[in-house]
Amino acid sequence: MKAIQLKNGFGFEELTMTELDIPTPGPKEVLIRMRAASLNYRDLVVLSGLMPIEVKFPFIPLSDGAGEIVAVGQGVTRFRVGHRVAGNFQQRFIGGNPRLGVLEESLGGPLNGVAAEYVVLHEDGVVPIPDHLTFEEASTLPIAALTAWSMLIEYGGLQAGDTVLLQGTGGVSIFGLQFSLMAGARVIITSSSNDKLERAKDLGAWQTINYSEFPDWDKAALELTGGGVDHVLDVGGAATMGNSINALRTGGTVSMVGFLSGLTIPEYDVSSILQKAATVRGSQVGNRDHFEKMNRAISHHGLHPVIDRVFPLDRIGEAFALLAEGKQYFGKIVVQI
């Protein structure tokens, strides 16, 4: 089979198309013929060697993918050959609350990822995908969609009539827009591109803010809402955390789902958290139970993920370059396998 590997170390130059033996599923395992994978910012950080995890070389990257089961090992009861599935990002995070060690069981680092024609996974780490989605669409669900769903719906308790503020137009934010609208909430979305903001309006955003024109976008959100938003999905990290808290209504919630601007907030004044009675919640993406509930909602509403571009597997370097540019895509970047 064909697979993409980091052969001897980190870096774009280490991405190599290789030929490997097709793996054989063991007891309680399934063999998946992968059809598509999607890229996340996390994959870029892993590729660069900046993620604080240990990987063993040669290493297969990418966390998120979808395909069909072509063989099952002894004792498999949840699936049969022909089922269309996706891997859960955290393989052993089945249900319940976030727990210590769950990130050590993640696809695409430290575990090998899905940038390969065939992948073996434990049946407990696999979920069925909605029937109406293509493999390309379904490949976008494990991290970006599940992060937005878990933070807004499962942990955030999003209600009809709430206001959600979303940063940028990447995968998590666009799924946040779609799920918020499904729940009857109204959405404010930020971007430095007026073209992207128009596209967000076309998808149903209530208000938009160009943060290049209005650097104090938190104050703009306060003015638009007359007192603050209920939820913020913060993808920026260190540089945006203070603005996100300021944009909240009293009692609102910031979900930290990304770190595009870094992880360290120097000498941060926590008084704003106290004054706002704010909840600040970190993300571990979500468990398999959440994934399955999300997929039922996606099926019920006929939702389609937003895909910017699709690359063939042998052009994965171009896909990563587009991801690294940061501002040149809307929604998700996908690789066909």
Residue 13 φ then ψ, to 5°: -65, -15
Q: Say what the pLDDT of residue 263 is.
A: 59
Q: What is the mean pLDDT of residues 87-92?
A: 96
Residue of 121, 125, 114, 103 whose CA lies nearest to 52: 103
| Its pTM surpasses 0.85 | yes
Task: List CB contacts of 224: < 8 A, sequence separation 6 or more.
Answer: 188, 207, 209
Burial of 61 (0-12, 13-18, 19+ CB in 10 A): buried
Distance separating alpha carbons of residues 201 and 13, to the nearest angstrom? 39
Which phi-psi region, left, alpha or beta, contains residue 127 (left: φ > 0; alpha: ψ -120 to 50)? Answer: beta
260 pLDDT band (50/70/90 cuts)? low
Amino acid at 316: I
Average predicted confidence (pLDDT) for the chain: 94
3-state DSSP helix/strand/coil % of the chain, to nearest 5: 30, 30, 40
Which pair of tokens denotes residue 182?
A: 């499904």
**DSSP label at residue 78:** S
User: Residue 91 above 90 pLDDT?
Assistant: yes
Over residues 175-204, the pLDDT tens digits come to 999 999 999 999 999 999 999 999 999 999
User: Residue 205 above 60 pLDDT?
Assistant: yes
Task: List CB contacts of 109: < 8 A, sequence separation 6 or more.
Answer: 42, 46, 51, 53, 55, 59, 61, 63
Q: Which runs of consecutive H residues, i.e. helices, occur in 93-216?
A: 135-138, 146-149, 171-182, 194-203
Residue of 154, 190, 46, 33 whose CA lies nearest to 107: 46
Distance separating alpha carbons of residues 28 and 9, to the nearest angstrom? 32
Distance separating alpha carbons of residues 241 and 122, to the nearest angstrom? 37
Distance separating alpha carbons of residues 238 and 246, to the nearest angstrom? 14
Residue that has been written with the tokens 């990822």 in this structure: 113
Cβ pair 283, 147 in contact under 8 A: yes
Cα distances (Å, whole numbers) of residue 181 to 17, 62, 187, 230: 41, 29, 8, 14
Cα distances (Å, whole numbers) of residue 139 to 38, 85, 130, 143, 304: 6, 9, 11, 9, 12
Q: What is the mean pLDDT of residues 312-320?
A: 96
Which pair of tokens denotes residue 95?
A: 């249900």
Q: Say what the pLDDT of residue 267 is.
A: 60
Lowest mean pLDDT among 147-151, 205-209, 268-272: 268-272
Residue 47 φ then ψ, to 5°: -60, -35
